[in-house]
Structure 1
Amino acid sequence: MAHSLFSIIPGSSEPIYRQLVDQVRRLVAGGQLAPGAALPSVREVAQQLTVNPMTVSKAYGLLELEGVLDRRRGVGMVVADRVAGADAMVDAADRAALLRPTLERAAREARELELDPATALALFTLILKESP
Structure 2
Amino acid sequence: MANIYKILDPDGNEVNRIVADEVFVQEFYPGRFEYLGEQPEPEAYPSYRSIDKVEAMGLIRAVTGMSAAEELAFRDDPNLALFWRIWREDVGNVIWRDHPLTAQILDAIEAAGYLGTAQRQAVLDNWPTA
Query: What is the TM-score normalised by the length of structure 2?
Result: 0.26
Which structure: greater helix fraction? Answer: 1
Higher CA-based Rg: 2
TM-score (norm 1): 0.25
